[in-house]
Amino acid sequence: MATDISGITGYYTNGNNNTSSSSQQLSADMNTFLQLLTTQLKYQDPMDPMDTAEFTNQLVQYSSVEQAIQTNEKLDTMMSLSIANLGAQAVSYIGKTVQVLGDVMPLEGGKAKATYTLDKDVLSATIVVKDMDGNVVYTETGEKTAGTHEFSWDGKDSDGNQLEDGAYQIEVSTKVAEGDAGASVTTTIFGKVTGVASDQNNIYVGLGDAVTAQLGDIVTIRNDDYFDKPSGGEGEGSGDGEGEGSGGEETTPPAEETQSYFSI
């Protein structure tokens, strides 16, 4: 397993990568406490020294902070071991197709798949595909009913030109009746796992050659040939807005195609 995230660096299909600074804060608190304690001892009145009980209480507080720092260090070690273990398990995902929470999808071999979920019925829905420079390359009309709908794209732009494989962003804009609250849209993308990497905080999987996702954002793992199958009806999922299965009907993946479910 690779241990350097640079090995699969690509466009992220999520933006959740928070790092805790609790250990640094505890260390700063302890140093501040020591400064105050030594200053207090240095300038105390020899004729009226610090109360013994109070001094002991302050030493106990210092000890508590020190123990908290040591506990954090041990937890960090356990976290690193846990991440390494998860990374070793994630190697088995290589070659499998995964469904990931996010909106940046890999176009591989002229094929891309995604889903979008509406929390309510809307008046209209428009699926927009952009390149990573923010340029709109393709649009089509989407389903308006609440629920999950699948979108397949053959990598052709609105003029029918075949685009290069890589990372593309999917956005779904909706319109609702005047006075209604806007609809919530959740997107997932599909990609074949091509690599696994880790840093001190997370495990990452490479999707195709251009997209990177966090392991914790994987929602399903599917057979390695799922990405090659047409979606819905008899259409090839070309994403031209007219073919069957191109971002149209609401679909539920067949149970036999789903290998397992994973979440952290």
Q: Where are the domains of the chain?
A: 21-92, 94-260
- Give which of 241, 177, 187, 176 is closest to 219, Cα–Cα: 187
| β partners of residue 245 | none
Q: Which of 118, 114, 90, 120 is nearest to 102 (CA)?
A: 114
Within the chain, what is the greatest distance between any pair of CA atoms? 95
Q: In this structure, are residues 220 and 108 in contact, taking their beta carbons and an 8 Å threshold?
A: no
Contact 153, 112 (CB under 8 A): yes
Could you say which residues of the chain have pLDDT below 50? 1-5, 15-20, 232-264
- pLDDT at residue 228, rounded to an integer: 64
Show the 3-state SS of 31-67: HHHHHHHHHHHHCCCCCCCCCHHHHHHHHHHHHHHHH
User: Which one is the CATH code of 94-260: 3.40.630.30, 2.60.40.4070, 2.40.40.20, 3.40.710.10?
Assistant: 2.60.40.4070
pLDDT at 240: 43
What predicted TM-score, i.e. pTM, was given to this entire model? 0.62
Residue 218's pLDDT is: 92
